[in-house]
């Protein structure tokens, strides 16, 4: 029985990754509804918990999804560029941002500022951004390539701000079921020594903040770019 557990976990991890890929691509149209359902309508609020920890005005968002955080950042007066690998998410976000810009008096002065790009190979110059942000990212965010690129495009003392997870506070049966699903799908990422070392190897120091919403405790990782000698 014990012999089969690692194989079962590996198979389940593959299935979970496949499901997430479908949600970001073929079924991107359903993303907002599913995200709202599993968060009791707080998904967008959870993402906005990253905003107070950003530094400066020039922001790069990794994996923008349907575009809600991009709009929130622009509403805060920030100069934001967002990237995503999913063409389907790019189309959703573009339509949403264009509609937002049409409602702004100065929309003629602003373009959409989206790009289809890989976080492991960023098409930006060195030290181009004050901060970077990514909310509920998949495992790409932990790769040496992505962290190395984050370090490269951030200005000195810049910050990489990540919202990895949120924990529902209420204890009803539905909440417990959803919280269990977060564990099963590896959305309950905890800071441990290996994670700290991974960020440290890319010259980031990591500390954890907690933000309270009506229903949840949202975890925010603030990863500060440290000087290298």
Residue 203 has pLDDT above 70, yes or no: yes
Residue 226 has pLDDT above 90, yes or no: no
Chain-wide mean pLDDT for the chain? 83
Report whether 130 contacts 55 (CB < 8 A). yes
Residue 105 backbone phi and psi in degrees, to 5: -60, -30
Report whether 220 contacts 161 (CB < 8 A). yes
Rg (CA), the chain: 18
Please state, in angstroms and rounded to a whole number, the distance separating the CA atoms of residues 190 and 193. 10
Across the strands, what pairs with 217? 167, 212
86-106 residue pLDDT tens: 999 999 999 999 999 888 876
Residue 11 has pLDDT above 80, yes or no: no
Place of tokens 């690692």: 6
Give the whole-number percent of the chain exceeding pLDDT 90.
55
Cα within 13 Å of Cα(38), Cβ side: 18
Q: Which residue has the higher pLDDT, 1 or 162?
A: 162
152-173 residue pLDDT tens: 999 999 999 999 988 887 655 4
CA–centroid distance for 111 within its chain: 22
Please state, in angstroms and rounded to a whole number, the distance separating the CA atoms of residues 69 and 54. 13
CATH at 217? 3.40.50.150
> What is the reported pLDDT for 13?
53
- Comparing CA positions, the residue from 152, 95, 104, 99 lying closest to residue 129 is 152
What is the count of structural domains for the chain? 1
> What is the reported pLDDT for 8?
59
Domain enclosing residue 66, as ranges:
2-225
């Amino acid at each position: 029985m014990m012999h089969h557990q690692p194989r079962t976990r590996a198979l389940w991890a593959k299935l979970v990754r496949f499901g997430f890929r479908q949600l970001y691509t073929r079924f991107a149209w359903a993303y907002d509804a599913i995200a709202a359902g599993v968060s009791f309508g707080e998904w967008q609020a959870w993402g906005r918990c990253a905003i107070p920890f950003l530094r400066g005005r020039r922001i790069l968002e990794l994996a923008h999804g349907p575009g809600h955080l991009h709009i929130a950042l622009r509403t805060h007066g920030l100069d934001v560029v967002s990237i995503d690998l999913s063409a389907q998410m790019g189309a959703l976000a573009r339509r949403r941002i264009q509609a937002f810009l049409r409602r702004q008096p100065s929309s003629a002065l602003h373009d959409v500022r989206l790009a289809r790009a890989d976080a492991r190979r960023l098409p930006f110059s060195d030290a181009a951004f004050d901060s970077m942000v990514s909310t509920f990212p998949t495992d790409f965010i932990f790769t040496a390539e992505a962290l190395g690129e984050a370090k490269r495009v951030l200005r000195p003392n810049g910050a990489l701000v990540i919202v990895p997870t949120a924990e529902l506070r209420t204890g009803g049966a539905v909440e417990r079921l959803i919280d269990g699903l977060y564990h099963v799908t590896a959305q309950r990422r905890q800071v441990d020594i290996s994670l700290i070392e991974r960020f440290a190897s890319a010259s980031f120091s990591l500390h954890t903040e907690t933000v309270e919403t009506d229903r949840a405790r949202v975890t925010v990782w603030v990863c500060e770019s440290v000087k290298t000698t």
